[in-house]
Amino acid sequence: MQHLKLNPNLLDVPLYIAGKPIEEVQEEYGLTEVVKLASNENPLGLSPLALSAFQVALRDAHRYPAMGDRNLRCKLATLYNAQYDTTLTQANFMTGNGIGDILRMIAEAFLFDGGETVYSSPTFPLYRILTTQFGGNCIPVPHKHYHHDLDAMLDAITPDTRLVILCNPNNPTGTLISRDHVDEFMARVPPHVVVVFDESYYELVEDPHYSNAVAYIQQGRDQVLLLRGFSKVHGMANLRLGYALGTPAMIEYLHHAQIVFNTGDPVFYAAMAALDDHAHIARVRELIATEKHYLYEGFSELDLTFIPTAANFILLVDLPRPAQFIYEELLKRGVIVRVPAGFGLPDALRVTIGTHTQNEMFLRALQDVLHNNHTEQQA
C-alpha cells in the first residue's frame, strides 16, 4: 500500500460496528441457545406474503431488474395519497439498497467542497461516517435530556451547512420529535439547507403528535427529504430496501448518485407484498407495544434507568456497572445487546424489544449479572 495514492477522506472514516452475530457468540462461548437483541430486528421475521412474493420473483433471478422499482414507487404513491391526502406520483420516490444507500446518495450529492452536516448526538453513526467519507464536516449537537435540541441545531447552521439530519424516532435514544416542534424548526431553517428526516422506525410510533414531513414535500419544498424503509415492521432487514420521498426536482437530482441496478426485483416484489400484509404489520406493532411495557416493568424492578421509547428498542442509562462489563456478561449467558459507543453513548446499553420468551431470558440474565456477587466486575 505504501506506493499507492489513497483517498485521505476514507482514511478518516470510522468503521461501522454492527451487532454481534448469533453464530459468533455460539462458537465463542459454546452455547446452543442465543438471543440477539442488538440490531433492532423484527422478532416475528419476514411477512409471509413478502416471502411468497420473493420466492416467485426468484424465477427471473437470471434477468436484470426490470419493472419492480417503478411498480413499487407507483404503489407507494398510491398509499401515501390515500393516507396523507396528497397528490404524489412515482417521481416523488427513489429506492435504494437500504436507507444507508439513500444516505450515501444524499451525502455524495451535497457534501462536496467541505459542506457541513448538522445532527444530534447521540444518533445513528452513518451520518458521521458518510459525511467524513465524502469530505464534509461533521457538526454534532449535544442532546437535551436525550432529545434533539432543535434550537441548538438551528444555531449550529452556517452558510456552509448543506444537510441537517433529524432521526425521528432517534436511534439509539428512541425519543421522538413532535409535530409542533418540527413545524417550529422548519419555519426557521434557512432555504439553503436540506433537511433529511430519517424515519426508519415510523411504523412503530404510537404518539398521535408525530411529525408529518410529507406535508412539506406536498407543499413543494425541495429542501426536504423523508427516508423510510422495510427493515423494521416488515422484517426485510437482510433484503436491503429503503426509499426517499421528495419533490420531483430533488429526486431527479439524487438519481445522478444512484448506482444502476442497486436492488433486485425479488426485493421490490417482496416489499409490495409486505405493504399489503396488514395482519403481519398489526401483529408486529401489537407485540412491540405490549413487550415494551413488560420490559419497562422489568427494568423498574431492577431499579434501572431507561428512556421511554417510540421505537422497537430501549436505552438503559446511568447503569450501576460499566456498560461493557454488563454486555460481556450477558454474552456469556446467551444474550446479545448493544453498547452504543459508536452512536456516542459508551456508558449505556441499547436492547431490542423481542418476543416475550426472548425478553424473559434477557431480564433473567440481566438480573443475574447485576445481582451475582460472585461475578468479578471488570473495567
Domains in the chain: ranges and CATH? 8-46+279-371 (3.90.1150.10), 48-277 (3.40.640.10)
Rounded CA gap, 296 and 245, in Å? 34
Which residues share a beta bridge with 93? 245
Q: Is the peptide bond before 122 cis (omega within 30 degrees of 0)?
A: yes
Burial of 32 per CB tally in 10 Å (0-12, 13-18, 19+): exposed
Higher pLDDT, 7 or 134: 134
pLDDT at 375 over 60: no
Percent over 70 (pLDDT), the chain: 98
pLDDT range class, residue 4, cuts 50, 70, 90: confident
pLDDT range class, residue 377, cuts 50, 70, 90: very low
Q: Which three cell numbers stand for residue 46?
A: 419476514
Q: Strands 224-229 and 242-245: what pairing?
A: antiparallel
Phi first, then psi, for residue 206 (nearest 5°) are -105, -20
In this predicted model, what pLDDT tens digit does every residue of 251-265 receive, in sequence order? 999 999 999 999 999
pLDDT range class, residue 294, cuts 50, 70, 90: very high
pTM here is: 0.94
In this predicted model, what pLDDT tens digit does every residue of 348-365 receive, in sequence order? 999 999 999 999 999 999
pLDDT at residue number 35: 96
In this predicted model, what pLDDT tens digit does every residue of 113-135 receive, in sequence order? 999 999 999 999 999 999 999 99
pLDDT at 248 over 70: yes
Mean pLDDT of the chain: 94
pLDDT at residue number 8: 83
**Minimal CA–CA distance to 234: which of 269, 265, 280, 174?**
280
In this predicted model, what pLDDT tens digit does every residue of 23-40 receive, in sequence order? 999 998 999 999 999 999
